[in-house]
Amino acid sequence: MYRSLISISWNAAADNLNFLLQWFKRFPQYKGRDFYIIGESYAGHYVPQLSQAIVRHNLKNVEVINLKGYMVGNALTDNFHDHLGLFEFMWSVGMISDETFKQLNVFCDFQSFIHASGQCDKVLDIAAEEIGDIDMYSIFTPPCTANFNRFSRLLKIKKKVGLIKRAYDPCTEAHSTIYFNIPEVQNALHVHRKNSSSKWVTCSDEVSENWKDSPISVLDIYRELIPLGLHIWIFSGDTDAVIPVTSTRYSIDALNLSTTSPWRAWYDDGQVGGWTQEYNGLTFVTVRGAGHEVPLHKPKQALTLFKSYLSASPMPTLKQVSDL
């Protein structure tokens, strides 16, 4: 029986582990197969926590899950480094002023993303005003506006193409908000509407304001799991301003891992797909031009990334691409 409310990510890890154990009982033909976990954004917490739960469960040597590794993208990892990298990224691409950048580093230092101080909130409001109406998940593509919605509909009418070739839709959040508020959808999801908010919203302020126990960091989990030889990769779309590439690089640097293969470009169809660096126990990959959800923005490059990860191969070099 599942808990009625998943209140903290540690509970989520325990529930996800329980789900996996029950799933393998129902589908025993998959027991013993190589098992990988992949996620993005707040999965930067969920995925390492679930991996840790599986590793500790396997110590009992009962119903062992053959966990081989995990991969996370644009992942929330450590409050301090996530903030440090975010402020630096916004400043470096010209989104905020020098003065606001300085104030963010003073008043929001070591602050939680979810529960900032009053002073930090004020500076964040100034930063938001300076940034303007852009898509923080993909800073170089148009944001969701009424005009974009109309333009998007016209494109769909005039140009019939496969899903894989469609441009990034910045209005996905707006579409999902409408969808998840349809009574039939909520009934299908077993939502008890009498006991919940009248309207479902993404990234609810009500939830955020009452969520007090999100761990400030999962770096200690990396320190526990890396020596075990798990196949751990982190990837980052480099046009995301929510969990930007700079945040991830600061978090990786805090692990003090030795480099086994230095920073270099990787290639897809003869073009630079991004950059990569291999460490002792961890590989970092950036995807050029991708936003927060890499496969949504750059599906072909994401496929190359996933193939390399699952085959335990380095990201392709220019020579490898040229020889194909």
Told to judge if 208 belongs to the known catalytic residues of this protein, a careful annotator would answer no
**pLDDT for position 195:** 67
Assigned architecture for domain 1-78+217-324: 3-Layer(aba) Sandwich (3.40)
Give the bridge partners for 240, in sequence order: none
135 is catalytic: no
pLDDT at 152: 44
Burial of 140 (0-12, 13-18, 19+ CB in 10 A): exposed
Delimit the CATH 3.40.50.11320 region(s) of the chain: 1-78+217-324
Cβ distance 119 to 88 under 8 Å? no
In the predicted model, is pLDDT for residue 302 greater than 50?
yes
Element (H, E) at 47: helix 43-58
Question: Residue 92's pLDDT is what?
Answer: 97
Residue 320: the pLDDT is: 74
Query: Per-residue pLDDT tens for 121-135?
Result: 899 899 999 999 999
Catalytic residue among 41, 51, 138, 308: 41
The catalytic residue among 45, 81, 83, 292 is: 292
Give buried/exposed letters for 115-136 (b at 16+ CB in 10 A, else e).
ebeeebeebbeebeeeeeeebb
Residue 151 has pLDDT above 50, yes or no: no
User: Could you tell me the end-to-end alpha-carbon distance of the chain, in angstroms, rounded to an integer?
Assistant: 52
pTM for the model stands at 0.87
Strands 35-40, 231-237: pairing kind? unpaired
d(CA 322, CA 317) in angstroms, rounded, equals 9
Distances (CA, A) of 267 to 198, 286, 311: 48, 11, 17
CA distances from 170 to 42, 111, 161, 178, 296 (A): 19, 29, 18, 15, 11
Distance (Å, rounded) from C-alpha 49 to C-alpha 55?
Answer: 10
Q: What is the largest CA-CA distance in the chain?
A: 62
**pLDDT at position 145:** 79
Given 240, 251, 268, 308, which residue is catalytic?
Answer: 240
The answer to whether residue 16 scores a pLDDT higher than 70 is: yes
Active site residue 41: yes
Across the range 98-105, mean pLDDT stands at 95
Query: Which carries the bigger pLDDT value, residue 160 or residue 203?
Result: 203
Place of tokens 């891992």: 257
Q: Kindly tell me if the per-residue pLDDT of 160 is higher than 60.
A: no
